[in-house]
Amino acid sequence: MNCIDLRSDTVTRPSEGMRKAMYQAEVGDDVYCEDPTVRRLEETMAGLSGHESALFASSGTMGNLVSLLTHCGRGDAAILGAESHILFFEGGGLAAFGGILPLVADDATGLPDAAQVAAHCRPSNVHVAPARLLCVENTHNRRGGNASSPEELAGVVRVARGKGLAVHMDGARVFNAAAAWNVPLETFTKQVDSVQICLSKGLGAPVGSVICSSREFIDRARHWRKKVGGGLRQVGVLAAAGLYAIEHNAARMAEDHANAARIGEILRDGGLDVQSVRKPTNMVYFAVKNAPELASRCAGLGVLFSPADEGRVRLVTHLDVSAADAVKAAECIVREARRAG
């Protein structure tokens, strides 16, 4: 059975062109900074993001962790959105490895509330863990895949800078944000001090992330990457996939957004409670009584998706989901939801 897989945009498989680029990649030892393909990827991403330098990491979680460890010392605090990926889905690494205290701000709009960010920046006091960093996420996974605008980002960054905070962006899907607002990537990424950008989400590479920041920051981040086991050797075979993805897949992300929008329309027309998002991208969330049961029924029919929790489902479109697949999957979900009552 050929399945339509809407569980995540991480499930894509390398195309023949990407596999060929990986096979032909020129390689060297990246721990010695001698892998030319990695260097080219890092230079490309630094240029696209508007930063001086960049560093390859094996995953988005590693990219975020290395960035937080570089920004903060033990006993420092980082301000995070209440539904952020760093807080929810990265194993508490900031506390486990960095001794960093998470301070939580409401992020219902997709970005941490500016007033709460300011309130977390308390006067210097021996009793208080000093806030050093604000983390933002764009697009925001648990907020429906919402893409915050450049102006919205600028507003909260301005508050953070006014309080002496550095700003890190979890930009796992920032290419989607750029596509949604039809602006260059650096419109978002140049606003922050550091950004982690995944290659293995909508871009369709099999693995990898890139941290972009100043040259001085990346030099320090390289040490942290080594400490957490992220020093890789002939990693150009992976970097080549990232370069191919940027060249061939970044420009087509609007297609994924259109497919997600079509799914949302069909689900709404079918009577399902679809979450409204101010600037939607490649995700659709909807409410249902028994999400695990519906997921199981649809999986048996070749439509895969993940319950976000007991009463909510997330669907994610990507380059392996065609417009016809999107319609077929949505119609299957509506039909099975009705049968389940």
pLDDT, tens digit (0-9, with 9 covering 90-100), for 80-100: 999 999 999 999 999 999 999
Domain parsing of the chain, residue ranges = 4-10+252-340, 16-250
| pTM (predicted TM-score) | 0.97
The class level of CATH for 16-250 reads alpha beta
20-37 pLDDT tens trace? 999 999 999 999 999 999
Helix (H, G, I), strand (E, B) or coil at 161: helix
Asked if pLDDT for residue 1 goes beyond 90, the answer is: no
8-24 pLDDT tens trace? 999 999 999 999 999 99
Mean residue pLDDT across the chain: 96
Comparison of pLDDT for 290 and 268, the residue scoring more: 268
- Report residue 265 as tokens: 């329309």
Q: How confident is the model at residue 125 (pLDDT cuts 50, 70, 90)?
A: confident
Please give the pLDDT value at position 309: 83
Spell out the SS3 assignment of 208-255.
CEEEEECHHHHHHHHHHHHHCCCCCCCCHHHHHHHHHHHHHCHHHHHH
At 227, the amino acid letter reads K
Comparison of pLDDT for 106 and 339, the residue scoring more: 106
298-330 pLDDT tens trace? 999 999 999 988 899 999 999 999 999 999 999
Asked if pLDDT for residue 340 goes beyond 80, the answer is: no
Mean predicted confidence (pLDDT) in 228-235: 94
Beta strands 283-287 and 312-316 are antiparallel
Which CATH architecture does the domain made up of 4-10+252-340 adopt? Alpha-Beta Complex (3.90)
Closest CA to 276 of 146, 128, 147, 87: 146
